[in-house]
Amino acid sequence: MRIHLVGVDYLTAPLTALASLAPADELALTVMGREPGIAGAALLSTCNRYELIVDATDAVDPDRLLGLAKAGIRELAPDVDPRALAGLEVRSDDTAICNLFEVGAGLCSAVVGDKQVAGQLRRAYELASDRGQCTARLHRLFHDCLRVSRTVASSTSLGAVGRSAAGVGLDLAMGRGGLRGARVLLMGTGSFARVVVAELTDRRVGEIECWSASGRAEEFAAHHPVTPVPSDGLDRALQSADLVITCSGNGVVLSGAELSAARPELARNADRQLSVIDLSLGGDVDEAAAELPGVHLVRLDDVSSRTGQLQSAVIEEAQRVVTQGVAAHLSKERARAADPLVTALRQHAKVLVDDELARVRENESPEVVQAVERSLRHAIGVMMHTPTVRFSQLAEEGKLEDCRTALDVLFGVEVEA
């Protein structure tokens, strides 16, 4: 059996493309129904990623799995954005497992250290478990992944990385004291938007308006202290804003033409500045906007240059925890590969004991038989301890075939690979 991960995220497709995958929320059941070799599957679907975690037989190769996933998505979401399908990638075995651990820890999030992803992963696991889609292997994988995620959260400051990046961006744009009572326009409703709102609230800004190119401002406002801006209300919001923050990840959402139309003075007068912070990985603000005399633009690169060294140390610390967790998980799984050999050896020993007891019963009293049985079973238990431990150790070291050969040569017990 092999673990595979078929997925696409904000790095391989725009967020608008990822949003088109939302109707395909039954992909795990779909692929399991079409391929008997898939023993279990769970789906992690968020605004930033869409990943199918699969436990399948060796006969199900990665290309076959990718084809099944694409076909299932097209059926469940006929209007899927082609860019989402083009971004789908397959990871297998140790690479897939390592990726899942990193995702659960928040290392792969759009906002590094995002704590929400651990809860999303847990809910994905619980749903698959409740539906009977989890194999024993998947149960162990998710349990260990979530345990390591908790360790990262409790033993490192990774969760503060995204918040610190937002804070540095605000400092560069406005200074520590320049935000009190300010009117802020937030363009975007994703992971970074949550972090930005928290930082703005702490700094006691006046009002936070939220506009979304994908029309999610109302939904975002229902859970955050912001005022939603209608889709056609961007001009008005730009006119009254003291600070604009973009973090949509959908490509350019704020152009120089839009800024000039809403606030003509920005093209003429460098003394009347509007601060704009672009926290999107791909860039939400075009060059024409950056070149306007009245615009002071802070990009994510500017923020990273200030926070990079500190963030790198924290991320490296979290990565060490994850790497150790992955190594421990893989070690346990390799040791479990010896279980069929241990079972076969125990069964062989049981047959020998049963045969000897049958011979004793023909010639001895029940009391003698009982005493012999106790002695034999105790002796076998003692004898089995060392090979049981050694089989597990050798399996962890990748020497399972040596164990299989030894079992065959010494005892005549054959166990299929």
pLDDT of 272 reads: 63
Helix ranges (DSSP H) in 7-135 = 15-19, 27-34, 62-76, 82-86, 93-105, 116-130
Any bridge partners for residue 223, and if so which?
A: none
As a 3-state breakdown, the chain gives helix, strand, coil percent values, each rounded to 5, of: 60, 15, 30
pLDDT of 308 reads: 63
pLDDT of 276 reads: 92
**Domain edges within the chain:** 2-155, 161-306, 339-411
Low-confidence ranges of the chain (pLDDT < 70): 163, 175-177, 249-252, 270-272, 306-310, 417
2-155 adopts what CATH topology? Beta Polymerase; domain 2 (3.30.460)
Residues tagged in the binding site annotation for NADP(+): 188-193
> Which of the following CATH numbers is that of domain 161-306: 3.30.1330.40, 3.30.390.30, 3.40.50.720, 1.10.10.10?
3.40.50.720
The residues annotated as belonging to the active site are 47
Instruction: Record the pTM.
Output: 0.73
Question: CA end-to-end span of the chain, whole Å?
Answer: 11
In which residue are the tokens 């060796």 written? 58
Check the CA dihedral 218-219-220-221 and report its sign.
Answer: positive
pLDDT of 27 reads: 96
pLDDT of 393 reads: 79
Residues tagged in the binding site annotation: 46-49, 109, 114-116, 120, 188-193
